[in-house]
A = this chain, B = another copy of it.
Amino acid sequence: MLDAVLTRIDAGFPASLDRLLDLLRIPSISTDPAYRAECRRAAEWLVGELAAIGFDAAVRDTPGHPMVVAHWTKAGPDAPHVLFYAHYDVQPVDPVDLWTSPPFEPVVAEGPNGRERITARGASDDKGQLMTFVEACRAYVETTGGLPINVTILSEGEEESGSPSLVPFLEANKAELARDVALVCDTGMWDEDTPAVTTMLRGLVGEEVTITCADQDLHSGMYGGAAPNPIHVLARILAGLHDDAGRVTLDGFYDGVPELDPAVRANWDGLGFDGAAFLGAVGLSAPAGETDRTVLEKLWSRPTAEVNGITGGYTGNGFKTVLPSKASAKVSFRLVGDQDPDAIRASFRAYVEAALPPAAKVSFEPHGGSPGIRLSVDNPALAASLGALSDEWGRPTAITGSGGSIPVVGYFKDILGMDSVMAGFALDDDRIHSPNEKYDVRSYHKGIRSWARILAALAR
């Protein structure tokens, strides 16, 4: 039966491509109020397509851009029920003069690498990915009369503008949206031939620390040598965050940090990742961080302490011999496993307080906190997805981490109590958020086939 679905996907691919191009022509830029009506138009277009397939689909208003929610429950009460998530909004297009074709007039043409590509804003992030799932459902329904499992589709229009309506919407619709597992399609392939499922996302704790010494800026000639300098105090504090082996020194920092599962480590070892080349591409001749960890571990499975900004004293042109009153830094911690954001924040604050010399004072401003996310390798939906993807692409699926966060996955876990399988078909060269964003025709075609296989596997 799956074979028939795949055959139908291949035969209907030109029409699937046309439908994606229709969606790409709608400039649903969520962050720019001028495109508010376009965002709604994209939502309505999507509802129309889903209703045509047979979903019970609706545009759902929020204080911001609307959600699209669509249900397929004809697989019966005993069948699995998944929640699929992708977003229909896109990034702005500036600088528009760097585009080789208008961003909302999609072009399908051969790229420099000899592969057909779809060039348009949103082709890869995230309309192309969204439509891989929609078209897989269409082919399944058209071939077999239905879907092999129950499916709810949630598509938001604010992912590129901070998702202000998402948490309230999830909280208001828990019973409707909490399903067995989420399928989140906003990530990429490991490389152009190797599919990937992302199972690890680092969390984030942000903290701004301000050191104050004198109650006013001082002249370093008049006071220097006797008056404490908050830049010195801050430098000592920041320098002390890591030891010589690159480990973070905060008390209890590594509590809840798991060692890598041997199966995952084996999978990573098989990826052939070249850490030196990865860093060399941005001009770095050597890594930083824990000396006993690989670059991939540092990026995906190890926690960090990072200073994202620092300022104090005179920073303009020339020189000013000021001894400043204040100095401040923005510090972030990437979290993994069961590290507790509140405990990390508290430990950092305690460390700073303890490091203060007598004449210095400190204040803190919190900037968000979320734990890391890890999908257990035992999750049956993960196993089904890995197998289905390997079948489609003809090679083992990579089990990857991501150093950045995907907030929706955290919300699904916290609010809906639901794990997420993160799979997608974007490539590193898709130029998402940049001019000339593209999605390979192959990503789109095999992405549709991949979801058909995953739907079939989840039914087993």
Interface of chain A residues 290 through 325 with chain B (CB within 8 A): 290, 295, 298-299, 302-304, 306-324
A295–B32 touching, CB < 8 Å = no
Scan A414-438; emit 1 where CB is below 8 A from any B CB, else 0.
0000000000000010011111000
Does A232 sit at the interface, judged by CB under 8 A?
yes
Q: Which of B91, B92, B238 contacts A231 (CB 8 A)?
A: B238
Q: In the bound complex, how far is the Cα of B241 from the Cα of A306, in angstroms?
A: 22
Q: Given A208-B319, A216-B431, A310-B312, decide whether A227 and B284 contact each other with a Cβ distance below 8 A.
A: yes
Asked if A287 contacts B226 (CB within 8 A), the reply is: yes
Residues 137-164 of A, flagged 1 when their CB comes within 8 A of B and 0 if not, give 0000000000000000000000011100
**Chain B residues near A228 (CB, 8 Å)?**
284, 286-288
Set of chain B residues within 8 Å of A284, measured between Cβ atoms: 213-214, 227-228, 359
Contact mask for chain A residues 15-53; partner B; CB cutoff 8 A; 1 contact, 0 none: 000000000000000011100000000000000000000
A313 touches B314 (CB 8 A): no
Query: Which of B208, B220, B327 is within 8 Å of A332, CB to CB?
Result: B220
**Using Cβ atoms and an 8 Å threshold, which residues of chain B touch A332?**
220, 224, 319, 321
Query: Which of B213, B239, B286, B303 is A239 in contact with, Cβ under 8 Å?
Result: B239
The copy count of this chain in the complex is 2
Taken together as a complex, chains A and B put the C-alpha atoms of A367 and B320 apart, in Å, by: 10
CA distance A430 to B319 in the complex (A): 21
Residues in B whose Cβ lies below 8 Å from that of A278: 226
Chain B residues with CB under 8 Å of A241's CB are 232
Say whether B221 contacts A403, CB under 8 Å.
Answer: yes
Query: What's the minimum C-beta distance from A219 to chain B, rounded to whole angstroms?
Result: 5
Given known contacts A215-B282, A226-B279, A239-B236, is B405 in contact with A221 (CB within 8 Å)?
Answer: yes
What residues on B are CB-neighbors of A113 within 8 Å? none
In the bound complex, do residue A403 and residue B308 qualify as a contact, i.e. CB atoms below 8 Å apart? Answer: no
Q: C-beta contact mask, A372-403 vs B, less than 8 Å → 1, else 0?
A: 00000000000000000000000000000011
Interface residue? A330 (CB, 8 A): yes
**Nearest 3 pairs of A and B residues by beta carbon:** A221-B404, A215-B283, A31-B318
Question: Which residues of A are in contact with B by a Cβ distance under 8 Å?
Answer: 31-33, 91-92, 94, 160-162, 202, 204, 206, 208, 213-229, 231-232, 234-236, 238-242, 275, 278-279, 282-290, 295, 298-299, 302-304, 306-324, 327, 329-330, 332, 334, 357-359, 367-368, 402-405, 428, 431-435
Q: Would you list 11 pairs from A and B whose C-beta atoms are within 8 A, ordered by A residue?
A: A92-B314, A94-B316, A161-B319, A213-B283, A214-B283, A219-B403, A224-B306, A286-B359, A287-B359, A308-B319, A319-B368
